[in-house]
Structure 1
Amino acid sequence: MQIDLGNVLDTASVHGVSRETLERLDDRVAAAHDRIERGRETDEHGYASLNLPSSTDPAEIREAVGGFENPSAIVTVGIGGSALGAATLTDALDSDVEAHYLDNVDPEAVASLLDSLDLGSTVVNVVSRSGTTAETLANFLVVQEAMDDAGVDWADRTFVTTGEEGNLRDLANQHDLPVLPVPDGVPGRFSVLSTVGLAAAALCGHDIEAVLEGAAAQEARLSDSLFDSPAYAYGAVCFALAERGYTANAMMPYAESLETFSEWFAQLWAESLGKDGLGQTPLRALGATDQHSQLQLYRAGPRDKLVTLVRATDREDVSIPETDLDGLAYLGGSSLGELLDAEFEATEASLVAAGQPNVRIELDEVNEYGLGELLYAMETACVVYGELASVETFVQPAVEWGKRAARGLLGGGDFEEADAVADKERLIID
């Protein structure tokens, strides 16, 4: 994996950063690296996430999922980091086992999914560290009932990923369910390289060891200089541009297999860095599709957006047939891959011509190893950005506020946050 910062330099964009600025920033990166390494050495909360390439035991994961023979599908019941990391991996990789995620409580979507599945050959993974996540537990109760109605013993088709204590741990003990532990010190949005993110991939037959190897390759690149670490380089440049008013980051992979990765990145970036009036708003886009829907804004709208372009250099290709149609003959004899690369490079050039900074991230291939590299690099980039911005990267107080409000509205306790909902001012136009 490599990162090209050429189009964020001041030689490409009037609002870009100079090489001298990067040199000065490198001293701060060295200090941030020292703080990160101290946190990793003691498995401090949050920093422990960056130890997962070596602390995660793939054999433990394979043992937990190994008892389910010939599954046709896996349904992961979780929300946020309990689902997005796993979905990023399984959506990017092909498998005969369908991977689905109940990460919302939209009743129509939940009912539609359950109606579409052969529940007798479906495996369910319920993921919640606390075992009290309202959305997750509500969906799981619905899944249990659907399996009961279909004459399926849900306990034979279920494993849980949870903490040492709580409702799910008690349920697992009561029904002798396979259990995977949620690692200590790892916030959900940083958990893709743990039991939380890798279980679905393992059940789908993917090489989770290669995912960890790819992550370890990027871990080995961490040093006290951004010029030696792709992850630190990306995080530092995002921070520097945000300081110059580029407070949005459009993540734009040129591979449909990485579309869910953009969703995962959005949570990682938003929940980690959006504090104290700071942060960089993540935007989700897909190349080349969104060249026709969003690029107009990125190129000619407010000068507040960094565009991050991601592609794989090695992939399958499809030839474009010859044609006699006027104006289209130039396409014949080329391929969809060549067209996609031309679109990618044209987007880069278009942004540079408009003075808009952009970063190129290239993977060798969208496979287990490449995904491990990409995911670890983005997590580390997020952490170093947080260090440079002096924000509390590993907490999410705004999210917790909303959870308490929802629980209070449902009668799950007396929470003052729920009172704020009742106090909402209304201006209704009917």
Structure 2
Amino acid sequence: MEIDIGNALHSVATPGVSRETLERLDERVADAHDRIGTGIDGREHGYAALALPETADAEAIRTAVDPIDCEALLIVGIGGSALGAATIADALDVDIDVYTLDNVDPEYTSQLLDSLDLSRTALHVVSRSGTTAETLANFLVAREAMESVGVDWTERTLVTTGGEGNLRALAERHDLPALDVPAGVPGRFSVLSTVALPVAALGGGDVEGLLAGAGTEAETLSGSLFETPAYAYGATTYALAERGWTVNAMMPYAESLETFAEWFAQLWAESLGKDGVGQLPARALGATDQHSQLQLYRAGPRNAMVTLVRPRERADVTIPETELEGLAYLGGSSLGGLLDAEFEATEASLAAAARPSIRIELERVDAHGLGELLYGMEAACILAGELFSVPTFEQPAVEWGKRAARGLLGGGEFEEARAVEEKTRLVID
């Protein structure tokens, strides 16, 4: 993975980051790196995520999924319990159909379950606590749907959960294959673990390649942003946010990485959005959103930086010759060449308007490259959290909402639920 921060420098962006500022910031990066290294070595909460290339057990994951034969996989989870697996499935084009139930919209849930051949579908239910309301509710609905068409759900269900709780008890009662959620790894940092890697194992993906790619990126971590791509990204985005660039538009130029942008949005928002700081992650897709969102990023409020991601190598399609004079320039070129031109045009367009962007390039979107990208963004996020001085691995606002919802459903007495009654209303009908 290569990071180019040239278009974030003050010679391009207004305001941008000077080389001198980066050199001063590098002293803080060195201190943060020492803290991160201590956390990794001690397998401390959150920092343990960066040890996953070493600690994840690919063989245990393959053993757990081995009894399951399926043509489709339905992932039942929410947030990090589903987004990582969806990212892997979409990027690596696994050889099974993959669906997610990560919301509790009744119409969508019913339509999805009705559309699946449940006799050829497996469930992967993911919840660390085993008590996540949305996940457990969807699992119960999916289990009942299987039973209603005569499918033995116990033969088609894999569980990933903590050492105790409802899901663990269920797995033990029905002798379900079960994997342990890795200790000390928050859900949004768990993509390189038992939470998300089973989708690759079930779908013929390269689990070892993902971990090897992550390991390659882990080996680049050093005490300087000038030597570490992940730290260069984390430090530069931090410096830009401090200068008012508080929106970070993640814009991959590969259809297979569209879900990655969604995964990044959770990672960045939930980890850094605390104490009045952080960046709002926006999700975009090149070249599609050059025709929509780019207008705002180039000419709207001066608050949005753009992260451009592309692979250097990809399969290509030749554009046929045409008799249409105005399109003659396209004939004989390729869709890949056109997409690269769109990428570079977007980058140049932002620079011409003195708006910052950062370029991320992978060799290709394969297991190794994806592992590098995922690990790199996690390390960048943790580094940015150190620089922002926020509790990166906590999510108090998320927990507040969970308690409020549980109280409204009768799951206990929670003060947060009473806030619903205090809602200010100004209704126009």
Query: What TM-score do you get using the length of structure 1 for normalisation?
Result: 0.99
The one-letter amino acid of 1:226's match is L
Query: Per-residue CA shift, 1:156-188, capped at 9, x if unaligned?
Result: 110100000000000000000000000110000
Taking only aligned residues, the RMSD between alpha carbons, in angstroms, comes to 0.6
Corresponding residue for residue 416 of structure 1:
415
Deviation at 1:423, TM superposition (A): 1.3
- After superposing the two structures, state which structure 1 stretch, 319-328 or 267-276, moved more: 319-328
Equivalences for residues 59-98 of structure 1 within 5 A: 59-69=59-69, 71-98=70-97
Corresponding residue for residue 183 of structure 1:
182
Deviation at 1:12, TM superposition (A): 1.4
Corresponding residue for residue 113 of structure 2:
114
Partners of 1:413 and 1:94 in 2: CA distance: 43
Corresponding residue for residue 395 of structure 2:
396
Percent identity between matched residues is: 70
Corresponding residue for residue 6 of structure 1:
6
Corresponding residue for residue 102 of structure 2:
103
Please state whether the residue corresponding to 1:263 is helix, strand or coil.
Answer: helix
Corresponding residue for residue 333 of structure 2:
334
Please state whether the residue corresponding to 2:131 is helix, strand or coil.
Answer: coil
Deviation at 1:197, TM superposition (A): 1.3
Corresponding residue for residue 48 of structure 2:
48
Unmatched segments (≥5 aa) in structure 1: none
Query: Per-residue CA shift, 1:199-253, capped at 9, x if unaligned?
Result: 1111111001000000000100000000110000000000000000000100000
Corresponding residue for residue 313 of structure 2:
314
Corresponding residue for residue 153 of structure 1:
152
Corresponding residue for residue 241 of structure 1:
240
- Native 8 Å contact 2:94 2:200 kept in 1: no
Query: Per-residue CA shift, 1:240-284, capped at 9, x if unaligned?
Result: 000000001000000110000000000000000000000010000
Please state whether the residue corresponding to 2:11 is helix, strand or coil.
Answer: coil
Query: What TM-score do you get using the length of structure 2 for normalisation?
Result: 0.99
Corresponding residue for residue 206 of structure 1:
205
Query: Per-residue CA shift, 1:353-377, capped at 9, x if unaligned?
Result: 0000100000000011000000000
Corresponding residue for residue 192 of structure 1:
191
Please state whether the residue corresponding to 1:196 is helix, strand or coil.
Answer: coil
The one-letter amino acid of 2:290's match is Q
Corresponding residue for residue 26 of structure 2:
26
The one-letter amino acid of 1:148's match is E
Structure 1 residue 370 and structure 2 residue 369: aligned? Answer: yes
Partners of 1:21 and 1:360 in 2: CA distance: 20
Partners of 2:41 and 2:96 in 1: CA distance: 38
Partners of 2:90 and 2:254 in 1: CA distance: 11
Partners of 1:98 and 1:14 in 2: CA distance: 46
Corresponding residue for residue 286 of structure 1:
285
Partners of 1:362 and 1:395 in 2: CA distance: 30
Please state whether the residue corresponding to 1:237 is helix, strand or coil.
Answer: helix
Corresponding residue for residue 342 of structure 2:
343
Please state whether the residue corresponding to 2:406 is helix, strand or coil.
Answer: helix
Partners of 1:320 and 1:359 in 2: CA distance: 30
Please state whether the residue corresponding to 1:43 is helix, strand or coil.
Answer: coil
Partners of 1:245 and 1:87 in 2: CA distance: 32
Corresponding residue for residue 58 of structure 2:
58
- Native 8 Å contact 2:28 2:387 kept in 1: yes
Partners of 1:421 and 1:375 in 2: CA distance: 37
Deviation at 1:96, TM superposition (A): 2.6
Please state whether the residue corresponding to 2:411 is helix, strand or coil.
Answer: coil
Deviation at 1:14, TM superposition (A): 2.8
Deviation at 1:326, TM superposition (A): 2.6
Corresponding residue for residue 231 of structure 2:
232
Unmatched segments (≥5 aa) in structure 2: none
Partners of 1:223 and 1:243 in 2: CA distance: 23
Partners of 1:422 and 1:171 in 2: CA distance: 36
Partners of 1:14 and 1:305 in 2: CA distance: 12
The one-letter amino acid of 1:354's match is A
Corresponding residue for residue 360 of structure 2:
361
Partners of 2:387 and 2:424 in 1: CA distance: 39
Deviation at 1:328, TM superposition (A): 0.7
Partners of 1:349 and 1:183 in 2: CA distance: 43
Partners of 1:133 and 1:14 in 2: CA distance: 45
Deviation at 1:427, TM superposition (A): 1.0
Corresponding residue for residue 220 of structure 2:
221
Please state whether the residue corresponding to 1:239 is helix, strand or coil.
Answer: helix
Partners of 2:326 and 2:20 in 1: CA distance: 47
Partners of 1:125 and 1:347 in 2: CA distance: 39
Deviation at 1:93, TM superposition (A): 1.5
Partners of 1:51 and 1:280 in 2: CA distance: 26
Query: Per-residue CA shift, 1:381-403, capped at 9, x if unaligned?
Result: 00000001100000000000000
Deviation at 1:45, TM superposition (A): 0.4
Alignment: residue pair count: 429
The one-letter amino acid of 1:372's match is G
Please state whether the residue corresponding to 2:270 is helix, strand or coil.
Answer: helix
Query: Per-residue CA shift, 1:47-106, capped at 9, x if unaligned?
Result: 00100000000000000001112x110111000000001110001112331011100111
Structure 1 residue 323 and structure 2 residue 322: aligned? Answer: yes
Runs of 4+ in 1 over 2 A off after TM superposition: none
